[in-house]
Amino acid sequence: MWIRTIKGLKNPKKRIRVSLLILYDILVIGISEYTALLIRFEFHPGMIRKPFLESMIHYTPINIGCTLIIFALFSLYESLWRYASVTELLNLVLSCIVSAMFQLVGMYMMGYHLPRSYYILYLLVLLPLMMAGRFSYRLLRIFKQKVYTDHLEKPIITMVIGAGDAGTLIIKELQSSYHLSNKVVCVIDDNPQKKNTKLLGIPIVGGREEILEAVKRYKVQEIIIAIPTMPPKDRKALLEICKDSGCKLRILPGVYQLINEEVSIAKLREVEIEDLLGRDPVETDLGSVLEYVQDKRVLITGGGGSIGSELCRQIAAHHPALLVIVDIYENTVYDIQQELKHDYPEMNLVVLIGSVRNTHRISSIFQKYQPELVYHAAAHKHVPLMENSPNEAIKNNVFGTLNTARAASENGCKRFILISTDKAVNPTNIMGASKRICEMIIQTLNTTCETEFVAVRFGNHDPFRQCIRK
């Protein structure tokens, strides 16, 4: 059975380790048998009766074979002793007990005779030697890692927040890895019963109120948050404290990572915007939203811009009855025209050059094509440029929106979507102020017109998109 175990190992290094472990077990079994007899006769080899010695020698090969099979059945050759825990320890104890019982029964059935106390002594010798052989490897690695970490020129002084299962696993991996230079110096946990105790030799200094003080005391450079079960609201509050420390922040994702031993250093990630929301992010089913444009006549202003061109691509993929693209800048709109013609040759596509400032031009486009949906993305958006040309920002953004919105209402458009910006929130610049005026225009028109007017704010980060609807 142990031979199959060795052959089943594809990794040559693992095969060598298991082979050496089996050789060690064979040696320990022989030593344990003879040592048990020596103890029985008070360490006087001359007092050992010859029949006892012959019985032990004759049964030793059988005992070795049975013991190795028992160890294999208890998965002692498949365990990762680097990460050995209570389960592996229990399996080792049970396998040694079963081995001693098999030896007792086997020798009795084969007519071999040994002192009754021998079997208990054999177990008492066998068990610690087996434990020493397996757990010494782990202890040696821990010692070597400690020496390695202590001698690092610039170790990353690390704080772990969370003294639960996830935090324990993270600290274990940091302590046992030669590829990481992190040195965990303290642990934070809100459980008051854990304060002033130690986790794997690392002091638990207290709750979150101790974070900033501990950072200064231990000169912490990196903070690892290992509480995957923490609600978003609590996570946000914790991150608000940690950000004042000036340390690099990393966080363990979700509770599902605890399943199947998925908690590891590889799962750690940088803190993201979603972690600061204080709530679960709202996931939008973009596909179902865009299906609304299917078989509809759609007009996109500013279709050559960054947002406008992406709107064109997304809408074109959902088969509108007609897609009209309007832009004043011919180069970019030409590029998107050629791209859509190549990707969707059968689509009814119209590309027009015109300015939203031109009331007559916009009105004629609406009268001719009668769009049902309008995405108004035409705008001056560069903040520094608009600060130097505020009149252009007002004329293009404000009056262009007013002209387009009026034309949409007068020509029976069903829905008008304004592409706004997060800079319209408490605006501090001309561009943001002009877009806020645009939002106010469509909000007002929405109360007086049959057309449904909607504003969507785009920010520098997608998670901060806001939808305003009055």
Tokens of 69: 């099979």
Q: 242: which residues sit within 8 A by CB, 6+ positions away?
A: 161, 211, 223, 225, 249
Angle at 301 between CA 356 and CA 358, to 5 degrees: 15
Distance of CA 145 to the CA centre of its chain: 26
DSSP string of 302-332? TTTSHHHHHHHHHHHTT--SEEEEEES-HHH
Identify the three-state secondary structure at position 415. strand
Please name which of 305, 306, 340, 341 lies closest in space to residue 326, comparing C-alpha atoms: 305
Q: 20: which residues sit within 8 A by CB, 6+ positions away?
A: none
Rounded Cα distance, 423 and 15, in Å? 62
Positive/negative CA dihedral, 14, 20, 26, 32? negative
Walk across the sheet containing 452-458 and list its strands. 349-353, 322-327, 297-301, 373-376, 415-421, 452-458, 466-468
396 close to 380: Cβ distance less than 8 angstroms: yes
Rounded Cα distance, 291 and 317, in Å? 9
DSSP string of 220-265? --EEEE--TT--HHHHHHHHHHHHTTT-EEEE---GGGGGGG--SG
Is residue 144 part of the annotated active site? The answer reads no
Selecting among 243, 423, 435, 470, the annotated active-site residue is 423
Residue burial 216-242, b: 16+ Cβ < 10 Å; e: rest = eebebbbbbbbbbebeeeebeebbeeb
* Residues belonging to the active site: 423
